[in-house]
Structure 1
Amino acid sequence: MADSSRYYTLAEGCPVANSSTAILARNGQGGGLGLLQDTQLIETLAHFSRERIPERVVHAKAVGAYGEFEALADCTDIMALSFLNKIGKKTPVLLRVSTVGPESGSADTIRDVHGWAMKLYTDEGNLDWVFNNTPVFFIRDPIKFPSLNRSHKRHPQTHMTDSNMFWDFHVGNPEGIHELLHLFSDRGTPKSIRHMNAYSGHTYKFTKEDGSFKYVKIHVKTQQGVENFTREEAIKIAGENPDHLIKDMFEAIENGNFPVWNVFVQVMDPIEAQNYRWNIFDMTKVWPHSDFPLRLIGKLTLNRNPQNYFTDIEQAAFSPSTMAPGFAPSADPVLQARLFAYPDAARYRLGVNYQQLPTNAAKVQVYSPFQRDGAMRFDANYGSDPNYVNSSLKPMRFYNEVNGLSAKSLSVFTEHEKWAAEIASYTSSIAEIDFVQPALLWDVIGKEPGHQGRLIGNLAASIKDVLSSELRQQVYVLFSRVNKELGRLVAEKTESMIED
């Protein structure tokens, strides 16, 4: 029996007598005409048509969970990040892990790079780590980023994914060969997020109050062990349970099987960077561990599922530009472009005040009176505080008054470099050095029994759908530049699939 003391209301709080009725002008024969005065019906239908926000152009399908980051080492010798200044210090975290190209309703196990977006709610403001599950990427020129993603998405005429577009782009932009080997290896189809690593890819900086800094790359290594699907397993799971990765994570956390990752950094002194054998700002390259070993800084534990996916995960916004004091960008051109592109995407998708949404809001006091008004402003909007600089009308509250940092100490986090540069148009060129690390990766893959064969099969399964024999030959040549035997085996396997 229904509880008569409980009732539904409209969004403004006004109670409604029955959640299932509509006001009609009845004709006595079972029909009726709706009336504009039926606010309950109109609000219900109008909201239904507006309850979807724009889907992310990339990274639309995702797993999300909450957890904590625990500092495991004293890192004050290389940086001044507050959340890493004391062993045992814990910081709340939101993690969102996604495929890149497919839509929100796509299968989790499709072969793709996986984005790793982590928001650390530190005691000096939010820090977003927006990483991938591979240590390198397809491009190093930022203007290619939209074209890269379009080539991995749907054809403008057929509205289907298209191997011709995919391989045409990568033949024309061969600097991505290192990432292609990662993508078509077993790593391209992870068995679960719990068994997957993540990497910053970009070079970042750890900075100190005295203005000094170190270049760093960040590695997030699963304690559960790396596990992947074969191509055949991934295809099977895609048909049986397209939400496999989401289900796996949700059920693990619900059952108290909290996944854990160790977090490491590679540290490079700026002096070492000047003459290093690889361009440290090139996202298609890694730093060998033999040159820059991993240094443990902390661990990540996921221990809480979202209460509401839309509120907690879909409305979450991440950007590499969200940096707490002690963390800074490098001169990586792709990273520099992302510093604009990600918050701009959030402003479009969620609105100009997206930082106020609970899932994005900092856990510390925010005072930014020059960023106010705009659609969906739902706080006090800084009341009567001046919205311009150097006002004498009212004492201003500053960050140091609520977070304990001086303006001088804050400034050095962004003033650790001086630049004298020449403005010039630039695009990177392809050289033989671009194939050195891919060749090393091919050798590493060969140390695991059967892995090279699976990689060749994965490549052939994609390349066989390229209609142009000329383009297929160009793909074989691309892989031959990594290893002649690799190019030959890919060609043989692909052409045999086409003949069959």
Structure 2
Amino acid sequence: MAEDKPRLTTSAGAPVVDNQNSKTVGPQGPLLLEDYQLVEKLAHQNRERVPERIVHAKGWGAYGTFTVTHDISKYTRAKLFSEVGKKTEMLARFSTVAGEQGAADAERDVRGFALKFYTEEGNWDMVGNNTPVFFVADPYKFPDFIHTQKRHPKTNMRSPTAMWDFWSLCPESLHQVTILMSDRGLPVSPMHMNGYSSHTFSLWNANGERFWVKFHFKTQQGHKHFTNEEAESVIGKTRESYQEALFGSIEKGEFPKWTLKIQVMPEDEAEEFEKKTGWSAFDLTKVWPHDMYPLIEVGEMELNRNPDNYFADIEQSAFNPSNVVPGIGFSPDKMLQGRLFSYPDAHRYRIGTHYEALPVNKPRCPVHHYHRDGTMPFGLHTNPDAYYEPNSFGGPVEDKSFEEPPHKYAGTVGRHEFRANADHYSQPRALFEKVFDDAQRDRLFHNIAAAMGGVPEFIVERQLAHFKKVHPDYEAGIRQALKEQHGYEANTIAADGDAARAGVNAAE
């Protein structure tokens, strides 16, 4: 081994003696199953790829930085927008929608425009397209639409008939079809197109005020497009024109930039907007007129670093519209609501249960949760006693200070506490007093006492306080059974005692 090179090992760390020759019986003999290094190498090769994305399979990406240039704190409490000059690391992935991984880059198609911002309050994923609208307004139709963009089940070829059949039966698609078939449908590179949230999201500020918002990322490189004939010529020479352009530009130090601008609508104006325009503010097939809601500048996005490993950082990158941070929220946009389920579900299927623990997807802030086990549970080194919630062993707890204000437009959408004034004691009391006889009650006491063996005293006492609220005899019977079975001698705690009150309040 050369002194200046690291030693080659197996995945378990054992040194590899010979990486050139398989182990055999004699020079020409058959291979041996005991050659575990060969088995490991071949088995890993069979598993090097993961399923490609159903849509947006062909993509190109890079790391970069977002810098705030204008104050929008009156609209949002999100920390990544908290002050002018603030910088946040981020990742971008651009893609075509319909093509498979081997498709040519320069094909007429909508382009995905997905961004991941690694903020101190978690990851914010802005998962949009290079168009401000989409073909359908309801997620129920999304699988049907994608079927028309993929291969015909009999011919295994793309079907213009299916595509135009669907569009002609769905006039809501006209806006997006017009954009797709215009110059905008064939940008020459990822750097020469805009990005849009397309969906309406919401912002909410430190005072609990909500605003509807659309995000626009305007290219600073200018718009450039291919004609069909120019694209055919490019594809004849290379199928990787976008990858070459993005990767090459960054390698040369010519860092592409976009300006983030937003349209903002006060929450209470959504109904009035619909009366004025005739369509919903949350309709994904429509835009907000700029004369009604002008663009407000926010900051600048710069891509300045190519990934060291495309598969690890771009193919395994997972963008979710459901990844929001305090100060950014959702809207009643039906398509958005559907994507909040379908995107993380796709990642769990494609990459694995703990896909957000992969380095490219992992938040740069502390992460504490109770998701356990499954495949590849990367870095789940938690308190072994705090694997459920609520618990008494110092596990992570909720923080009400980040509670999002309720949606006025959507009526009663929110997290409602339906147990706050509930009576948890009268029905167990009726069961204990009126249904059970003395023998049943005695067995109840002894069964509960048997199940409490080895439980810490403070937990036992907290539970006994609940039993006493049901009926004093309930608590007394269990306490006696505990003494008989386990020698339990703790003092009785009155129902209005500090420990009992704390335990009951926590449980309620």
Does TM-score exceed 0.5, indicating one fold? yes
- C-alpha distance in 2 between matches for 1:311 and 1:93: 16
- C-alpha distance in 2 between matches for 1:380 and 1:163: 48
- Spell out, residue by residue over 1:421-448, the C-alpha distance to the aligned partner (whole angstroms, 9 max, x if none): 9xxxxxxxxxxxxxxxxxxxxxxxxxxx
1:161 corresponding residue in structure 2: 158
Query: What is the CA-CA distance between 1:389 and the residue it aligns to?
Result: 1.9
1:126 aligns with 2:126: no
AA aligned to 1:98 is: S
- Spell out, residue by residue over 1:295-321, the C-alpha distance to the aligned partner (whole angstroms, 9 max, x if none): 001110000000100111111000100
- Spell out, residue by residue over 1:26-55, the C-alpha distance to the aligned partner (whole angstroms, 9 max, x if none): 3x6xx3211100111111111111111111
SS of corresponding position for 1:63: strand
Q: Which runs of 5+ in 1 are unaligned?
A: 400-406, 422-500
Q: 1:78 aligns with which of 63, 75, 80?
A: 75
2:324 corresponding residue in structure 1: 323
- C-alpha distance in 2 between matches for 1:192 and 1:167: 27
Normalization by structure 2: what TM-score?
0.78
1:272 corresponding residue in structure 2: 269
- C-alpha distance in 1 between matches for 2:347 and 2:195: 23
Query: What is the CA-CA distance between 1:271 and the residue it aligns to?
Result: 2.2
Q: Is the 8 A contact 2:129 2:195 kept in 1?
A: yes
SS of corresponding position for 1:34: coil
Q: Is the 8 A contact 1:265 1:294 kept in 2?
A: yes
Structure-2 change in CA distance of 1:139 and 1:83 (3 Å): same
1:390 corresponding residue in structure 2: 390
Q: Is the 8 A contact 2:332 2:410 kept in 1?
A: no
Q: Is the 8 A contact 1:8 1:18 kept in 2?
A: no
Query: What is the CA-CA distance between 1:417 and the residue it aligns to?
Result: 6.5
1:284 corresponding residue in structure 2: 285
- Spell out, residue by residue over 1:171-208, the C-alpha distance to the aligned partner (whole angstroms, 9 max, x if none): 11121010000001011111111111011110000012
- Count of residues in Structure 1 that have an aligned counterpart in Structure 2: 409
1:9 aligns with 2:9: yes
Q: Is the 8 A contact 2:60 2:95 kept in 1?
A: yes
SS of corresponding position for 2:52: coil
Query: What is the CA-CA distance between 1:378 and the residue it aligns to?
Result: 2.2
2:352 corresponding residue in structure 1: 351
- C-alpha distance in 2 between matches for 1:412 and 1:102: 38
SS of corresponding position for 1:33: coil
- C-alpha distance in 2 between matches for 1:154 and 1:129: 29
2:235 corresponding residue in structure 1: 238
- C-alpha distance in 1 between matches for 2:167 and 2:368: 46
Percent identity over paired residues: 45
- Spell out, residue by residue over 1:95-142, the C-alpha distance to the aligned partner (whole angstroms, 9 max, x if none): 000001111111001110000110000111100000000010000011
Bigger-Rg structure (1/2): 2
AA aligned to 2:377 is: R
AA aligned to 1:82 is: K
Query: What is the CA-CA distance between 1:238 and the residue it aligns to?
Result: 1.3
Q: Is the 8 A contact 2:386 2:394 kept in 1?
A: no
Structure-2 change in CA distance of 1:310 and 1:5 (3 Å): closer
AA aligned to 1:21 is: N
1:190 aligns with 2:187: yes
Query: What is the CA-CA distance between 1:396 and the residue it aligns to?
Result: 3.1
Question: What RMSD in Å do the two structures reach over aligned CA positions?
Answer: 1.7
1:410 aligns with 2:402: yes
- C-alpha distance in 1 between matches for 2:198 and 2:55: 18
1:23 corresponding residue in structure 2: 23
Q: Is the 8 A contact 1:372 1:381 kept in 2?
A: no
SS of corresponding position for 2:25: strand
SS of corresponding position for 2:249: helix
- C-alpha distance in 2 between matches for 1:140 and 1:60: 22
AA aligned to 1:202 is: H
- Larger relative contact order (C-alpha < 8 A, sep ≥ 6)? 1
- C-alpha distance in 2 between matches for 1:201 and 1:79: 19
Structure-2 change in CA distance of 1:138 and 1:19 (3 Å): same
Structure-2 change in CA distance of 1:131 and 1:252 (3 Å): same
2:473 corresponding residue in structure 1: none
Query: What is the CA-CA distance between 1:3 and the residue it aligns to?
Result: 5.8
- Spell out, residue by residue over 1:203-262, the C-alpha distance to the aligned partner (whole angstroms, 9 max, x if none): 000012332100011100011111111111111111211100011010100000001100
**Aligned runs of 1:192-271 on 2, under 5 Å?**
192-271=189-268
1:307 corresponding residue in structure 2: 308
SS of corresponding position for 1:116: strand
Q: Is the 8 A contact 1:328 1:413 kept in 2?
A: no
Query: What is the CA-CA distance between 1:2 and the residue it aligns to?
Result: 6.0
Deviates more, 1:350-359 or 1:232-241: 232-241
1:47 corresponding residue in structure 2: 44
Q: Is the 8 A contact 1:141 1:334 kept in 2?
A: yes
- C-alpha distance in 2 between matches for 1:415 and 1:13: 54
AA aligned to 2:268 is: I
AA aligned to 2:23 is: I
- Spell out, residue by residue over 1:351-388, the C-alpha distance to the aligned partner (whole angstroms, 9 max, x if none): 110110000000000111x2121110121441314222
AA aligned to 2:8 is: Y
Query: What is the CA-CA distance between 1:4 and the residue it aligns to?
Result: 9.1
Query: What is the CA-CA distance between 1:412 and the residue it aligns to?
Result: 2.8
Query: What is the CA-CA distance between 1:7 and the residue it aligns to?
Result: 3.6
Q: Which runs of 5+ in 2 are unaligned?
A: 414-508
Structure-2 change in CA distance of 1:222 and 1:289 (3 Å): same
- C-alpha distance in 1 between matches for 2:305 and 2:225: 24
SS of corresponding position for 1:42: helix
Q: Is the 8 A contact 1:200 1:217 kept in 2?
A: yes
- C-alpha distance in 2 between matches for 1:58 and 1:417: 32
Structure-2 change in CA distance of 1:4 and 1:281 (3 Å): closer
Q: Is the 8 A contact 2:218 2:260 kept in 1?
A: yes
- C-alpha distance in 2 between matches for 1:113 and 1:4: 48
Q: Is the 8 A contact 1:209 1:410 kept in 2?
A: no
2:135 corresponding residue in structure 1: 138
Q: Is the 8 A contact 1:367 1:398 kept in 2?
A: no
Query: What is the CA-CA distance between 1:169 and the residue it aligns to?
Result: 1.0
- C-alpha distance in 2 between matches for 1:88 and 1:160: 50
- C-alpha distance in 1 between matches for 2:195 and 2:250: 19
Q: Is the 8 A contact 2:112 2:130 kept in 1?
A: yes
- C-alpha distance in 2 between matches for 1:190 and 1:263: 19
Q: Is the 8 A contact 1:126 1:362 kept in 2?
A: yes
- C-alpha distance in 1 between matches for 2:282 and 2:410: 17
- C-alpha distance in 1 between matches for 2:4 and 2:391: 56
Normalization by structure 1: what TM-score?
0.79
- C-alpha distance in 2 between matches for 1:95 and 1:308: 15
AA aligned to 1:208 is: N
Query: What is the CA-CA distance between 1:76 and the residue it aligns to?
Result: 1.1
Q: Is the 8 A contact 1:373 1:381 kept in 2?
A: no
Structure-2 change in CA distance of 1:312 and 1:5 (3 Å): closer
